[in-house]
Amino acid sequence: MSATDVVTGFFAAVNERRLADLCHHMAADVVDHNKIIHGEPDEPGAAFDAIAMQLQAFGDYHCRVQQLVVSGDTVVARCTHTGTHTGTHPRMPVPTGRSFETEMILIFTLREGLISEIRAVSDRLGLFAQLGWDWPTVA
C-alpha cells in the first residue's frame, strides 16, 4: 500500500467511524504529538483512544482532505474538519451543542507501511471559540 493509500485509508476509517480498522493504518505504538486537544496520555499507542474520544465527543465529526503532499515516508495533509459537540470530552465534559469548522495541517510519518507519528498545526483558538470552550491554562 502506498503512503497516500495509508493516509487516505486512515481518514476514511475515522470519517466512517471504523475504529477497528485504524490498526490497518496506524502502528500499534503510534505517537500523537497533539495533546492540547485530545488530553490523552503521552505514550505510544494512545492515539487510538484519542481518536475514539474525539468521535464520541463530536458525533458528526468529519475531516475533509483538501490536499496531500507526499515525500518518501512523510505525508502532509491540509484538511478542513467539522463537528458538533454532542458528547463528553476531557476538555469540556458537558456538551455545548455547538459546531465548528476549522482548518488543520497534519504531518504523518510512516514506518513499515503504517503511520508511526502524527503532528498537527490547527486553528485551536478558532475551535475553542466556536465551541464556547475556555482556553486551557497552564497549571
Q: What is the CATH architecture assignment of 3-131?
A: Roll (3.10)
Is residue 110 within 8 A of residue 128, CB to CB? The reply is no
**Confidence grade of residue 138 (pLDDT, cut at 50, 70, 90):** low
Distance CA 7, CA 10 (A): 5
| Burial (Cβ within 10 Å: 0-12, 13-18, ≥19) of residue 57 | buried
Tens of pLDDT along 21-68?
Answer: 999 999 999 998 876 555 556 678 888 988 998 899 998 999 999 999
The domain segmentation of the chain, as residue ranges, is: 3-131
Tens of pLDDT along 76-119?
Answer: 999 999 999 999 877 777 899 999 999 999 999 999 999 999 99
Of 105, 108, 58, 64, residue with least CA distance to 86:
58
Q: What is the pTM of this model?
A: 0.90
Of 47, 27, 29, 48, residue with least CA distance to 113:
27
Q: How many helices (H) and strands (E) does the chain have?
A: 4, 5
pLDDT of res. 133: 85
pLDDT of res. 139: 54
